Structure 1
């Protein structure tokens, strides 16, 4: 108790403006602990973020902030993340419902049918894109379809780095564009951007990136596949899907309906609830599952024992509980960001960066580069979204830029570039899963380096950069005023 009384008394001192060198202390500490924990100890990013938050709190206290003010700074950060937390929870429910309802199985089944020997690299990219789009997870896609694709491609004499690059490009396209993806929801939520507005804005960079990647893979793969394609693994997987699910093209109407709702600008929460309800009904009335099994799929995820390892790995997932890692990471990260932002540390850091980014064009480009730098220093793609989102939010508003520009830049520079850092969790996962080192597959992960380049080019030319309307500026000002008065 005496300790906290001392901290409170300490806070009575006059608060002073943070200097850049003081403000970066928590970041430096967090980065060092992150490297030791994630790279050295192979653990998650939560504890390093808590250490960073503790360091930031101590720095703020030493700078004259009361402990009650520091706590309120933490809570403000958490409140900003609450919309994203709600969406992430609904995403977990959607994954469980769609797997249990056979919707994901149907999408994968018809996706596997498009494989052709002469365009294997193109085919595996598209299949991974479809699967990742359906389940919202690049890691699960790479760990299942990607592993199978590696075996099939190697049997055709295609170099492993090429196959890995195609798998990564497809998996990250689907992950980036899926409303079920945690990073997509995180980017939208932390920037206070409507989920589907965010996804639509990413079309400008991500779809051209995919088309360029497919063109490169068509060129690289034209000389492969002459020995024919061993379809035994594919047929076995498709057989397992048919044995365990009712496969019907009519089930594709459910994701199609969600897409239509998105096109009609229905808000994310009701659109996802409709998708969840239809998936739940499909599991009970089409797949023949019990109500208890359907509820279990929503709570703890779908459970299957098909005898096919790839199918089991892909479909044993989903549910509310599967999202608790992401939810807890979001809350801890926003606690850290809340202290940095509301005690002036973030402002001191951003001031130095904005000396180089004085215009809207250079601001977006700086965001992309900052996200890549965060991936390299913090070894975690989630952090590459969280920290820059809070660093640049106010600057975008001051430049009159819509928040969807920031959310897109976070994904272009953060989500996609994580695969190029060998010590990043994504690079480590890919090496362990696909068996190819980062530096080997990097030249062939075309989508992942083309999209950030396009994003920077768009920023410098002004193409697809959206300004705030006068009504939107007024609404933001009213929100800020309301927040201050809370």
Structure 2
């Protein structure tokens, strides 16, 4: 059987460039990032990708598009979007969002609410292993906090994204961490130890920065905000079961059912309206689901045309030393993540080459797995066309670009990762045992 060699073609990245220019460029030129709908920009890029590579039949390219959109990670992401949307919709109808916000206002001063939101996001995401599920579940809470205080909506959403990306990078059940350890041939606990001491300073400094940014915050209500404990229980239940390590799909389905029971018990809605709220939650996530599917298809077309391979070769061709090898792994997965907008897929794509680099330059497998996860998560948390920022922006009703400056943790994670490479720490994960 003839061995197929991967072809490198930098021109295959043109459709991705068109997508970025249409999506971000139009917003920069007009000052309105809603001027160009993401789906329109994405579809235009797909049409260009389908028109390339004349040697391949059009029907074959269409099937490649479908295969990319139907990738298991993409479909799982879509299901999480839908369930998280249903939970958020039903919880809001049951009064859980308002009560949870008011509970926070009653027990925490406004200047600590954003720090608290960040910390809760860290715990939920590290327990559930999904940043997107965490974001969609917490976004209504963050929006409520912003509405009842003088804290900006973009800042509140940035805190949620920051907490979500912390757990996505460290959770034992996250797709990214599983992909990182499997491609590098190491153990989850060993990768966690190598990873933890790099990301911990970034998380601590993030909390301090959020505390400083909201030090003068005040509530917009004079009296104590009313809340009902029973209405808070759905969010409390999601937190408890997430911390217990339950599967994210079970957590979100259980939360939707629990919130429905609370709403029915309190008479906030009837059974027919409960079903309607679930449908509304699904509908709210439909555009995001379509973006994820079409972006997955675009990435597959670019990959088949040699675009991803050209990225891999461009990043790795100047590696000469061990430290350069580590920087190469970081740049490799970061570049692929910018192109794919999916941190799990970027690790799966860059992982085999990262493994070769680690073997060539005697980089510990724990270290390479850690670098893959760190730099994919840091990029994923700041790209405005990624699922995380699109999801939180959709709930908040603002441009994802406005949230990027407040994604403090992903930004500091990049800095922390770069310093770890430059100064070669932590020492116990730098050299092979």
TM-aligned CA distance change 1:169 to 1:330, over 3 Å: closer
Kept in 2: contact 1:106–1:247 (CA 8 A): no
Whether 2:235 is the aligned partner of 1:283: answer no
Deviation at 1:397, TM superposition (A): 3.2
Q: Counterparts in 2 of 1:448-463, with a 5 A limit?
A: 448-458=410-420, 461=424
Q: Counterparts in 2 of 1:1-80, with a 5 A limit?
A: 18-39=7-28, 40=30, 42-61=35-54, 64-80=55-71
Aligned to 1:255: 238
Kept in 2: contact 1:74–1:335 (CA 8 A): yes
Aligned to 1:267: 247
Aligned to 2:361: none
Deviations 1:361-413 (A, max 9, x none): 324521575389x4xxxxxxxx7724x76555322134347988656533322
TM-aligned CA distance change 1:85 to 1:277, over 3 Å: same
Of structures 1 and 2, the larger Rg is shown by 1
Aligned to 2:105: 112
Aligned to 1:332: 294
Kept in 2: contact 1:136–1:174 (CA 8 A): no
Cα RMSD (Å) of the superposition? 4.9
Inter-partner Cα distance in structure 2 for 1:21 and 1:285: 59
TM-aligned CA distance change 1:213 to 1:292, over 3 Å: same
Aligned to 1:293: 273
Please point out which of 388, 394, 411 is paired with 2:377: 411
Whether 2:325 is the aligned partner of 1:366: answer no
Aligned to 2:131: none
Aligned to 1:308: none
Query: What TM-score do you get using the length of structure 2 for normalisation?
Result: 0.67
Deviations 1:264-311 (A, max 9, x none): xx43323332222222222212455311121122111xxxxxxxxxxx
Deviations 1:408-452 (A, max 9, x none): 533322324659xxxx989x99xx979xx99xx95x874353222
Unaligned runs of 5+ in 2: 125-133, 182-187, 356-364
TM-aligned CA distance change 1:459 to 1:146, over 3 Å: farther
Deviation at 1:333, TM superposition (A): 0.8
Relative contact order higher in (CA < 8 Å, ≥ 6 apart): 2
Aligned to 2:221: 233
Inter-partner Cα distance in structure 2 for 1:253 and 1:66: 53
Whether 2:115 is the aligned partner of 1:125: answer yes
Deviation at 1:332, TM superposition (A): 1.4
Kept in 1: contact 2:68–2:299 (CA 8 A): yes
Kept in 2: contact 1:124–1:149 (CA 8 A): no
Kept in 2: contact 1:101–1:283 (CA 8 A): yes
Aligned residues between the structures? 378
TM-aligned CA distance change 1:113 to 1:464, over 3 Å: farther
Deviation at 1:321, TM superposition (A): 0.6
Deviation at 1:327, TM superposition (A): 0.5
Aligned to 1:93: 86
Deviation at 1:20, TM superposition (A): 3.7
TM-aligned CA distance change 1:203 to 1:43, over 3 Å: farther
Inter-partner Cα distance in structure 2 for 1:165 and 1:71: 38
Greater shift in the superposed pair: 397-406 or 88-97: 397-406
Aligned to 2:306: 344
Kept in 1: contact 2:61–2:301 (CA 8 A): yes
Unaligned runs of 5+ in 1: 1-14, 152-162, 301-318, 375-382, 467-486
Query: What TM-score do you get using the length of structure 1 for normalisation?
Result: 0.61
Whether 2:376 is the aligned partner of 1:396: answer no
Aligned to 1:306: none
